[in-house]
Amino acid sequence: MKADSKRQWITSALVAAVAAFSPITAGAAWPERPVRIVVPWAPGGSTDIVTRILAADLTKRLGQQFVVENRAGAGAIVGMQFTAQQPPDGYTFLLNSTGYGYLINKGSNVDLVKSFDSVAMIGLSDSALVVNPHLPVNTVKDLIALAKKRPGELLYSSSGVGGFPHMNTELFKLMAGVDMTHIPFKGGGPAIADTAAGNTQLQIGSIPTVIGHVRANRLKAIAVGGSKPNPALPGLPTISESGVPGYQSQIWFGLFGPKALPSAIVSAMHGAVNTALDTPDVIKRLNDQGVDVTKMSTPAFAKLMASEQEKWAKVIKAANITGE
């Protein structure tokens, strides 16, 4: 066999071998079987709610079941570690939200930016400061005064160490100069249920997590954490204008895949998600939960994730947030 022909034969063989083991090959349909979306938080929280709305639409749209799998624990680290270890074949994704327990727990061996490929942005939502109705406060200034009168006695719930309510409240404590005690749970659902039951007194959680309890009068909302009032909770002032100038927090919701996800899968999933986010029914269901649909390109989403991680790393350091 001539040298040139031999080289061509070897090259062709290598190309064929790579194609055979590639997670997605030219002409292959995707998805060909059910797709798993891992939620690294317990059922009932905002990330779980958003994921189930999206999964229902994708199931109808793509003709395969999109199965929501809750793997809660360690401030989302358990679910993140599990997903990062799955094959990058387009059949396991992670839908996560603002939560940075892995920056606090240095032994987590997982990182949202380094361990995953950013696929699609879903939306944003403000935080809301809610209290048990039996707590004698009606405004942010009331809460600050009570917390200063009873340092360390007020208990606030969160979805877990590094979760959105934890980070929000530690930022609030830092800016308001108050001391309150953190009670972490495995997700926003059980955490907010505990506050509604009166075992903990307050939470600064995402609107999708708290809104059902507020509408049922199980919790009292006194302010929102956005830059302006939120139509999902009409009539409430912002935390910033109510006693903590400059305070602002929003939760993001986004979809990720294990590192090295094929570009064809990223493109297909990104397109399917964005089409779902153009659907009036999906928009309404998310809006009803206080989520603003926010679409962006995959590179822009990846850039946002890097900047968000950097921002919250600074908050963790400034507030001296540690594992508990």
Residue-wise pLDDT for 27-52, tens only, equals 468 999 999 999 999 999 999 999 99
Q: Is residue 264 part of a domain?
A: yes
Residue 17 has a pLDDT of 41
Please tell me whether residues 241 and 267 are part of one structural domain: no
Residue 315 has a pLDDT of 84
Residue 324 has a pLDDT of 61
Which value, in Å, is the radius of gyration of the alpha carbons in the chain? 22
Which residues lie closer than 8 Å to 187 by C-beta, 6 or more apart? 41, 42, 43, 44, 45, 48, 70, 72, 159, 160
The rounded distance, in Å, linking the Cα atoms of 152 and 298 is 43
pLDDT in tens, 72-100: 999 899 999 999 999 999 999 999 999 99
Q: Is residue 18 part of a domain?
A: no
Q: Is residue 82 part of a domain?
A: yes
**Residue numbers of the domain that contains 310:** 34-125+251-318
Please tell me whether residues 106 and 220 are part of one structural domain: no
Please tell me whether residues 244 and 265 are part of one structural domain: no
Q: How many domains does the chain have?
A: 2
Q: Is residue 14 part of a domain?
A: no
Query: Would the pLDDT of 201 be above 50?
Result: yes
Q: If residue 129 lies in a helix (H) or strand (E), which one and from where to where?
A: strand 116-131
Please tell me whether residues 44 and 190 are part of one structural domain: no
234: CATH? 3.40.190.10
**Single residue among 207, 224, 250 that ends a domain in this structure:** 250
**Single residue among 210, 232, 250 that ends a domain in this structure:** 250
Q: Is residue 27 part of a domain?
A: no
Q: Determine what percent of the chain is predicted with pLDDT higher than 90.
A: 85
**Single residue among 250, 276, 292 that ends a domain in this structure:** 250
Q: Is residue 103 part of a domain?
A: yes
103: CATH? 3.40.190.150
Q: Is residue 10 part of a domain?
A: no
Please tell me whether residues 280 and 219 are part of one structural domain: no
